[in-house]
Chain A
Amino acid sequence: MQANGAWTAEVFITLKPSVLDPQGHTVQQALRDLGYRDLASARLGKYFVLAFPGRLSRAEVERQVRRMCEQLLVNPVIERYRLAVNRERVRP
């Protein structure tokens, strides 16, 4: 990992807790079958890594990413999201 001035925004998207997640449930069952009997639940989500030039301010990067989420990346009817903005380049 090297600090190079550029921004990296990570967006974590998951289905809302009220929405049924059959994929998560299936993964949970498979993990329990592997022996992980303590696992209470598993839910699947999406992860985006968005890169921005370093000349922008942190506030501007966050603003743009939230707008991207509202306009395209997230379906607010069934999904919710959180984001993390960092200065270092993150290797996915």
Chain B
Amino acid sequence: MTFGVVVFPGSNCDHDCHHLVSRVLRQPVRYLWHGESRPPRVDCMILPGGFSYGDYLRTGAIARLSPVMAAVRRHAARGGAVIGICNGFQILLEAGLLPGAMLRNRSLRFVCRYVFLRTESRRTPFTRALPPGRVLHVPVAHGEGNYVCDAATLRRLRREGCVVFRYAAADGRVGDDVNPNGSVDNIAGICSARGNVLGMMPHPERCAEPALGSTDGRELFHSLLRTAARRRA
């Protein structure tokens, strides 16, 4: 499977994402510069974390106007896999590829620590191969991870299995007390109705090797590779 890591001015997790794919997953991967309106086609597009355009105006607001986003839209419309991590998730929200918006953390603090996530849906290729309710140990690092959406959108997300991850305790119990940012319904990640576009605040690329303390992050990509292989067979 081929991967593309989109790089915006201010993206800073692009190298970690590239490393995850090339060294850990051992799959072909290239950087896709934000200025390319017709980048080479890849099977999976990764929108990495960071501070694109310095988070000026609103986080992700200016990045969504980059020429490469037209290609991301086309890829998503074709059913191609897209994963937006942290700032990448914020960009997908501003671009309208995922519903809702992101606010500043309720505590007003930048939170940088490990959290537990409960896998709530297997609608996306990133979670299809995971057992239901699988708890993942993944780090977050964000000041604006407070996901919000209106009541109708939340109902639809829940009904269609588009809430993919919720903040939880180690035993999988979801709760406000283990939510690092105050997001609605303790949501940590959501997907599009078709399931091919995933947005999540935590960083799976930072926990994909034993030396980093957790390998749960690479499970999302193993699931993606297994699902893709199954579909091609």
Contacts and interface: CB of A to CB of B under 8 A. Distances in A.
Interface residues of B, number: 19
Given A75-B101, A77-B149, A78-B101, A22 B58 contact: no
B73 interface: no
A26 B100 CA distance: 24
A23 B65 contact: no
Contacts of B94: 75
Interface residues on A, range: 10 to 19
A22 B106 contact: yes
Contacts of B106: 20, 22
8 contacts: A20-B103, A20-B146, A23-B108, A75-B61, A75-B101, A77-B100, A77-B150, A78-B148
B184 to A, nearest CB: 10
A72 B148 contact: no
A69 B65 CA distance: 14
A19 interface: yes
Given A19-B103, A19-B148, A20-B103, A75 B108 contact: no
Interface string B134-150: 00000000000010111
Contact of A72 (B57, B108, B182): B57
Nearest to B64: A72
Nearest to B60: A75
Nearest to A77: B101
Looking at A23, A26, A75, the one whose CB has the most chain B CB atoms below 10 A away is A75
Contacts of A72: 57, 61-62, 65
A37 to B, nearest CB: 23
Interface of B: 57-58, 61-62, 65, 94, 100-101, 103-108, 146, 148-150, 182
Interface string A58-85: 0000000000000011010110000000
B167 to A, nearest CB: 17
Nearest to B146: A20
Contacts of B150: 77
B115 to A, nearest CB: 20
Contact of B104 (A23, A73, A75, A77): A23
A15 B148 CA distance: 12
Given A72-B65, A75-B94, A77-B149, A22 B57 contact: no
A24 to B, nearest CB: 11
Contacts of A23: 104, 108
Nearest to A78: B101
B57 A26 contact: no
Given A22-B107, A75-B58, 12 more contacts: A19-B148, A20-B106, A20-B146, A22-B104, A22-B105, A26-B108, A72-B57, A72-B61, A77-B100, A78-B101, A78-B103, A78-B148
A27 to B, nearest CB: 11
A72 B104 CA distance: 19
